[in-house]
């Protein structure tokens, strides 16, 4: 299924080279002011700018509201947002019909969807689908900024920042990017996300732990290969006496923050910290050699979805 | 919520020092032979043996079937399994009433559940709750061994192995464990899981990607701080031309397996590989110093669950 | 939430006088041929024709596919269908701002959504939203016609018929309709649905009983006030010896069908039979008198959704 | 699946002649006082007393708390309650192996679960499973009595009453029962449920309408064949001008209550009123004749669950 969330539920749809991509957001409270301009900064950031080292595809990414907004405010009903696809050249992808691209979802899509998937530009697997996820994030952040979540009336200012801390193994990200440009290759990186002003008590032990829920949505982003909270993988090398965060005050403030703000699956009010590993983009001028498999020739009628 | 899964759904319950811990498994097909002995090996492994460096608590961990099994076979209806708690000394935990233990869930539990949580031995947060998760895993593995999943009739033998690859930073795990014993401290480690014989096509792009779903349940295990698939965090240092796995045959077999068997959120038939980072156990003889907070004195009536 | 279904999940959105109404269908298998013409008959039937006794609003109801269909076939990914609203005169509804219409959702919508709801023509509550439900039904029926459901490979031809069996208390429905036209009033009725060729085994005991699931979606249709299966309310007047359906053959065929094809929440292969009661449309030329309440004056910012 | 609810979720398990029946309740807030005595009245009512016209099976129905209650109060974690089965004579049911009882789930259970179901006394289909549903209801009512739901802090006293309004077609229920006793037969009836003090705003349009959600759980009760809200099936015979409830005050109070307290799927603060039709119990001394089918001879290994 292409949905996430119980109270503020998002559902993404669309294909890279179809009419549009988009999102339905169900559960957003009524009365939140929303307009096109609210989305500009984050959508621009998603595109990666116009500079070197980014995708050549240029789209306006203007959100078109189809439902759930009335007189400039949310109505409390499902919000549907479309982003039209304009800069598409489908003919470029005809060769995919016989050569599944390494690192891409072409081959698994063909296996699972029997040759009926829209293969142009990765179709539904395209990172272009993150447009809808970003749009939903804009709305979610706006709710948080107002100190209002769908579930609670807590009046807490929350700040969320995510930044690239490493590209191609270089902590000087400019240097890592330059290395990739010179090598005419794509390159991976690390992103760190820090949330300040966290309320205490978000999350549950076990399957709805804050880590479980965040990891579920983080791995929805194409190309993510790992996630770690707080000290993360480095914690595996530590002694308990080093790792344990001493609680210094009734507020729950800890001296260190090895736990990354989550204990027992529940936020403890300290900064929420996690890092994600992004693999290098599969599309790269340096082609990986592989035989032509001629795989798109055995479509069968009406394949069964297996999960 | 304390449940996981849509077709084969598990729900855990119980407290460390209550009457029992247990699990309800809903959606298991009828006709699967199940008896006490099926569970022995995995439950024993969960306990960590009787050797040095493990918990001193000794429980029999004998599964008591309360529903869903008839004449030694599953009926297709919910399977309820209890594990009695016998080796409990509640008095040991009275001091927790005033000093929340660092690294443990004591403080967040108290905040979220208003002082009404069963604090003895971590209560519902105790790793003892993994008994039910392991029991559900035994049943799931038995279904897979038969080449039968709850959803499909694929006749594929699947092998699942998980092993500790590092303790306290040492790949010689015996050495890492010895180091901890000598330091009289707890220690973290890395576990690698490899699944061979994976069917092609499990998972969906986005929120139900195989990584998303596996990460959700893996972070349900107490003390897990990170997860990575395939090359994982190391992929962030690679070029695309290195990382891309060339597809060598119509079967989907790839030359390398940097992707860890998952592309576009969907299994590609190669080995599924992931690693998890486990922090050092919070319980350690080396006490972390922190002030007595006297925090268990302000219970309020009927706290609100916040997620 | 505005979604229904676990394997074939539909989500409706839109407002009566907004840009459009529509539906997202997630979980439809790949390879199903779909075109505009497939939808014409059922969408026309939903509109109620152009004759006497029906709504004066005229819309084309042409399905616009925005995702999930490629080269005339489903791709296995979410199918998004829009229906544009063209025949709208929003000014007609300005008076609703001060007088909540009796029988309509105006008042509750205002209470729940704080005055931010799109009140024009009932907004999201409008029966126009059933366009999306009918479109989803067209796809579902086409899957069934092919002997293929999203979940099973059963090769069973299924026929589904629904007919009006009573209007305004008259079993001669023409007569009932005529009575309403003469009275210049709206009128209620009974619809009976019969499904032949049912597979055995659909449904579960308790919360996912076939009755539970059908009732959930039937009550999603505006104006439905009751549902009964098989003999229904008349069964309450019978003795057990009369009501019990004798099983006559190994196939499960019963002599009578008081159960309406469902026993223990599970289909038994006999005809599935249920009836629903539809109240008279709230919009009627015969106005119900009520005081002007001036109720749309106390909008508060960002109301909380209460369920 | 055997679960219901998103915020306060109940899961039932057990078999009529197995070790026990029971329920897990997940999502109940912490701090609610609970003891055995709270359950006595409703559990006694479920049993139907010891008088004429009721089941001869006698069970104590003492709730055994296995988790989620600590020092007499709920902890906020899953509450597990067992009811032991003591008064069982399994040998009585051996004949079911060859003759599926008319009106019972024997035949469909055998088809769906391949002969592996626990057939004794109806197994998981037995009305004895309602013990767990009643227990969950006791807890839910206690939360409401305190003016506290799992989701809201509304301070509204709610009263819920359900009464038999008709037995065997007689509104004098004593007379209807007597008629059945004399005929040595089982008999159906009508139950009316009225909720006073309803908050405004519960429910959503469409699939989570208050009618949809109530109908889903009501049809989970074995033997229910129909449900109607407000005027219900009689509304189908009315004109709109008669049926529409005039809103008389800003509070939402209506002059009449044909809608039964629900408009647009949402509670309007007037009394919630619904009626359910219960078919005559399938177990009756007046046997329905049917051939011996010898149906329990073709069990196949590991049947597939079909929904």
Q: What was the ipTM of the complex prediction?
A: 0.93
Residue A213: its chain B contacts at CB < 8 A? 216
Which subunits count as partners of chain A given 3+ CB pairs below 8 Å? B, C
- CA atoms of C55 and C75, how far apart (whole Å): 36
Report pLDDT for D271. 97
Report pLDDT for A92. 65
Closest CA to C101 of C281, C246, C222: C281
Mark yes or no for CB contact A239/B200 under 8 Å. no
Residue B123: its chain D contacts at CB < 8 A? 70, 75, 77
Residue B1, min C-alpha distance to chain D (Å)? 6
Mark yes or no for CB contact C30/A114 under 8 Å. yes
Residue A188: its chain B contacts at CB < 8 A? 235-238, 243
Mark yes or no for CB contact C168/D200 under 8 Å. no
Report pLDDT for A204. 96
Residue A149, min C-alpha distance to chain B (Å)? 11
Residue D23, min C-alpha distance to chain C (Å)? 13
Mark yes or no for CB contact D268/C228 under 8 Å. no
- CA atoms of D258 and C282, how far apart (whole Å): 12
Quick one: average pLDDT of A104-111? 92
Closest CA to B113 of A203, C286, C56: A203
Mark yes or no for CB contact A233/B124 under 8 Å. no
> Per-residue confidence at A237, pLDDT binned at 50, 70, 90?
very high
Q: By three-state DSSP, how is residue C156 classified?
A: coil
Examine the pLDDT at D89 and tell me if it is beyond 90: no
- CA atoms of D301 and B148, how far apart (whole Å): 11
Residue D19: its chain B contacts at CB < 8 A? 65-67
Long-range contacts of residues D248-257, Cβ cutoff 8 Å, at least 24 apart: D248/C290, D248/C291, D249/C293, D250/C293, D250/C295, D252/C107, D252/C108, D252/C111, D252/D200, D254/C102, D255/C290, D257/D230
Mark yes or no for CB contact B235/A228 under 8 Å. no
Provide the H-helix boundaries in chain A.
Answer: 36-47, 106-113, 130-145, 173-183, 210-218, 240-243
Closest CA to D200 of C109, C1, A149, C302: C109
> Per-residue confidence at C302, pLDDT binned at 50, 70, 90?
very low
Mark yes or no for CB contact D31/B70 under 8 Å. no
pLDDT digits (tens, 9 = 90+) for D205-235: 999 999 999 999 999 999 999 999 999 999 9
Mark yes or no for CB contact B206/A284 under 8 Å. no
Nearest CA in chain A to C78: A13
Lowest-confidence region among B140-149, D279-288, D294-303: D294-303
Residue partners of B282: CB distance under 8 A and separation at least 6: A240, A244, B101, B102, B103, B104, B186, B223
Q: How many other CB atoms are there within 10 angstroms of residue A52's CB atom?
A: 9
Nearest CA in chain D to C280: D240
Closest CA to C113 of A32, D152, A153: A32
Closest CA to B189 of B261, B275, B247: B275
Which subunits count as partners of chain B given 3+ CB pairs below 8 Å? A, D
- CA atoms of A193 and A191, how far apart (whole Å): 7
Contact D254, D198 (CB under 8 A): no
Mark yes or no for CB contact A150/C305 under 8 Å. yes
Examine the pLDDT at C76 and tell me if it is beyond 70: yes
- Identify which of D3, D29, D117 has the shortest CB distance to residue B303: D29
Mutation target among D103, D137, D213 for the C interface, most CBs of C within 10 A:
D103
Examine the pLDDT at C237 and tell me if it is beyond 90: yes
> Per-residue confidence at A300, pLDDT binned at 50, 70, 90?
very low
- CA atoms of B104 and B101, how far apart (whole Å): 6
Mean pLDDT of chain C: 89
- Identify which of B183, B219, B295 has the shortest CB distance to residue A211: B219
Q: Which two tokens stand for residue A134?
A: 């970003």
Closest CA to A193 of A268, A260, A281: A260
Quick one: average pLDDT of A5-25? 97
This prediction's pTM: 0.94
Lowest-confidence region among A278-282, C56-60, C198-202, D291-295: D291-295
pLDDT digits (tens, 9 = 90+) for C159-177: 999 999 999 999 999 999 9
Rounded to 10 degrees, the C-alpha dihedral B172/B174/B176/B179 comes to -140
pLDDT digits (tens, 9 = 90+) for A240-263: 999 999 998 888 999 999 999 999
Q: How many other CB atoms are there within 10 angstroms of residue C167's CB atom?
A: 25
- Identify which of B26, B31, B124 has the shortest CB distance to residue D1: B26
Mark yes or no for CB contact B233/A228 under 8 Å. yes
Report pLDDT for D162. 96
Report pLDDT for B89. 75
Considering only residues A147 and B80, tell me which one the structure prediction assigns the higher pLDDT: B80
Mark yes or no for CB contact D26/B2 under 8 Å. yes
Residue A76: its chain C contacts at CB < 8 A? 112-114, 116-117, 303, 305
Q: Which two tokens stand for residue C17?
A: 């006088």
Mutation target among D129, D136, D247 for the C interface, most CBs of C within 10 A:
D247
Contact D17, D143 (CB under 8 A): no
Q: How many other CB atoms are there within 10 angstroms of residue A156's CB atom?
A: 14
- CA atoms of A279 and D87, how far apart (whole Å): 63
- Identify which of D2, D185, D278 has the shortest CB distance to residue C207: D2
The residue with tokens 């509109």 is C47
Burial profile D155-177: b = 16 or more Cβ within 10 angstroms, e = fewer: eeebebeeeeebbbbbeebeebb
Helix orientation angle between D210-218 and C210-218, rounded to the nearest 10 degrees: 170
């Amino acid at each position: 299924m292409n949905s996430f969330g119980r109270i503020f539920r998002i559902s993404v749809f669309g294909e890279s080279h179809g009419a549009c991509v988009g999102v339905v957001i169900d559960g957003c409270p009524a009365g939140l002011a929303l307009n096109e301009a609210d989305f500009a900064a984050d959508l621009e950031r998603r595109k990666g700018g116009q500079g070197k080292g980014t995708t050549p595809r240029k789209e306006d990414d203007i959100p078109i509201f189809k439902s759930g907004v009335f007189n400039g405010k949310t109505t409390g009903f499902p919000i549907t947002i479309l982003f039209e696809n304009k800069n598409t050249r489908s003919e470029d992808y005809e060769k995919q019909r016989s050569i599944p691209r390494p690192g891409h979802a072409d081959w698994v899509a063909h296996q699972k969807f029997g040759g009926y998937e829209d293969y142009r530009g990765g179709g539904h697997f395209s990172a272009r689908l993150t447009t809808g996820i970003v749009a939903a994030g804009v709305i979610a952040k706006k709710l948080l900024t107002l100190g209002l979540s769908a579930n609670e009336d807590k009046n807490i200012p929350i700040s969320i920042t995510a930044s690239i801390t490493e590209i191609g193994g270089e902590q000087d990200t400019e240097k890592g990017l330059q290395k990739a440009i010179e090598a005419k290759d794509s390159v991976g990186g690390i992103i760190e996300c820090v949330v300040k002003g966290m309320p205490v008590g978000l999350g549950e032990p076990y399957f709805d732990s804050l880590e479980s829920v965040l990891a579920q949505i983080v791995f929805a982003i194409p190309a993510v290969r790992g996630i770690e909270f707080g000290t993360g993988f480095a914690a595996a090398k530590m002694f308990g006496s080093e790792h344990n965060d001493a609680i210094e005050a009734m507020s729950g403030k800890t001296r260190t923050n090895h736990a990354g703000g989550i204990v027992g699956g529940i936020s403890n009010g300290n900064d929420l910290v996690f890092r994600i590993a992004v693999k290098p983009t599969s599309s790269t001028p340096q082609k990986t050699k592989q035989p032509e498999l001629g795989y798109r020739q055995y479509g069968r009628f009406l394949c069964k979805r297996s999960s």
